[in-house]
Amino acid sequence: MKKILVIEDAAQTRSLFIEALQYEGFSAIGAENGLIGLLKAQQYLPDLIICEIMVPELDGYSILKELRQNYSTAIIPLIFVTVRTTRSDIRKGMELGADDYLTKPCTLEELLGAIAACMRKRATLQQCYTAPFQTAIERLSADAINLSDSNSIFPFNSQLNKVFHFIESNYQQPINLGDIAQEVGYSPAYLTNLVRRQTGKTVQGWIIERRMAAARYLLLFTSETVEDIAIKVGYQNTVHFFRQFRQHHGTTPQVWRKTQLDQDKADQHNC
């Protein structure tokens, strides 16, 4: 069942949308302001978002910017259904990456038609895009990345679940072996031996693996600078990020991004 998030501060309109979507067979979630909507988008990872621009706490434009900058929500389709009706409003929404733009009042038929169009577009793009993207990732030894579940880069191991969970929750921070050892209640030496014996890698190696996975995703799905990406995935020193990225991928982040995007364009053209 497809999941749709409705971000709308008018309770009556929100309820109407949710009821209509549920009647059509969707699982619908509501949010009464932009901040709650953004949190629910990050928590539930819906298949599509319907959003009013003029919502309190965080407006629709800001919500869209945040979604597109976060690797876990960057590709969620978003439809603005809004009272903002000027050409500049519409243009701004589309330039930020909205998938459709409906002005109020709109009919339920128009809304459902826009949703259906987004779903068809997404399905078509997935058919044409997912296979070559996954192939490219596999060539670079990143086949463990799962775009809907970032924890999948870690192997299942009941003894190390707390270790991997801590890395997943904190890899964007300057964490190290000592921080993780303290969290799980082991000495650094014991933890080092345990992780190496169970996985063949070091604790620091897993931290780097997680950061590299996040970096690759941001390079592919956002237009953020390499410097900003380095900070976002836990590097305080950009030079350190460049060095580790080159060690893992044999090239710089900029060259890797260009190569992958050029290959993706060629694959989509062929498709």
Q: What is the CATH number of the domain that holds 31?
A: 3.40.50.2300
Number of domains in the chain: 2
54-69 mean pLDDT: 92
Asked, for residue 265, whether it belongs to a domain, the answer is yes
Let me know whether 154 and 221 are in one domain.
Answer: yes
In a 3-state reduction of DSSP, which class is residue 101? Answer: strand
Let me know whether 13 and 59 are in one domain.
Answer: yes
Confidence of residue 27 (pLDDT cuts 50, 70, 90): very high
Domain end among 123, 139, 166? 123
Mean of per-residue pLDDT scores for the chain: 85
Let me know whether 196 and 238 are in one domain.
Answer: yes
CA angle 205, 74, 104 (to 5 degrees): 165
Helices (H), 100-237: 108-139, 161-170, 177-184, 188-199, 203-221, 226-232
Confidence of residue 63 (pLDDT cuts 50, 70, 90): very high
Distances 129 to 49, 153, 264, 269 between C-alpha atoms, Å: 21, 21, 8, 10
35-42 mean pLDDT: 94
Let me know whether 263 and 190 are in one domain.
Answer: yes
Asked, for residue 132, whether it belongs to a domain, the answer is no
Domain end among 123, 141, 162? 123
Distances 111 to 9, 32, 84 between C-alpha atoms, Å: 17, 19, 16
Which of 75, 23, 68, 78 minimizes the C-alpha distance to 48?
78
Distances 214 to 100, 132, 205, 218, 219 between C-alpha atoms, Å: 28, 19, 14, 6, 9
Let me know whether 160 and 117 are in one domain.
Answer: no
Query: Among positive and negative, which fits the CA dihedral 177, 178, 181, 187?
Result: positive
Q: Which residue has the higher pLDDT, 250 or 135?
A: 250
Let me know whether 115 and 195 are in one domain.
Answer: no
Q: What's the rounded Cα separation, in Å, for the pair 173 and 231?
A: 9
Distances 46 to 42, 87, 94, 158, 161 between C-alpha atoms, Å: 9, 28, 20, 29, 26
Q: Is the pLDDT of residue 15 over 90?
A: yes
Q: Is the pLDDT of residue 228 over 80?
A: yes
Confidence of residue 189 (pLDDT cuts 50, 70, 90): very high
Which of 95, 111, 90 minimizes the C-alpha distance to 28?
111
Asked, for residue 82, whether it belongs to a domain, the answer is yes
Let me know whether 119 and 76 are in one domain.
Answer: yes
Domain of residue 67, residue span: 3-123
Q: What's the rounded Cα separation, in Å, for the pair 100 and 84?
A: 13
Asked, for residue 135, whether it belongs to a domain, the answer is no
Let me know whether 180 and 112 are in one domain.
Answer: no
200-218 mean pLDDT: 92
Of 22-31, 135-144, 257-266, where does mean pLDDT reach its minimum? Answer: 135-144
Percent of the chain with pLDDT over 90: 54
Of 6-10, 90-94, 241-245, where does mean pLDDT reach its minimum? Answer: 90-94
Let me know whether 157 and 249 are in one domain.
Answer: yes
Let me know whether 112 and 74 are in one domain.
Answer: yes
pLDDT of residue 268: 55
Domain end among 123, 140, 172? 123
Let me know whether 186 and 256 are in one domain.
Answer: yes
Q: Is the pLDDT of residue 4 over 50?
A: yes
pLDDT of residue 222: 86
Q: Is the pLDDT of residue 264 over 70?
A: no
Asked, for residue 174, whether it belongs to a domain, the answer is yes
Let me know whether 116 and 159 are in one domain.
Answer: no
Question: Is residue 44 a contact partner of residue 29, using CB atoms and an 8 Å limit?
Answer: yes
The CATH number assigned to the domain holding 224 equals 1.10.10.60
Confidence of residue 12 (pLDDT cuts 50, 70, 90): very high
pLDDT of residue 53: 95
Asked, for residue 143, whether it belongs to a domain, the answer is no
Q: Is the pLDDT of residue 32 over 60?
A: yes
pLDDT tens for each residue of 69-102: 876 788 889 999 999 888 888 888 888 888 899 9
Question: Is residue 145 a contact partner of residue 218, using CB atoms and an 8 Å limit?
Answer: no
Percent of the chain with pLDDT over 70: 86
Confidence of residue 35 (pLDDT cuts 50, 70, 90): very high
Asked, for residue 201, whether it belongs to a domain, the answer is yes
Of 120-129, 164-173, 254-263, where does mean pLDDT reach its minimum? Answer: 120-129
Structure tokens, 72: 């876990």
Confidence of residue 262 (pLDDT cuts 50, 70, 90): confident
pLDDT of residue 127: 58
Asked, for residue 128, whether it belongs to a domain, the answer is no
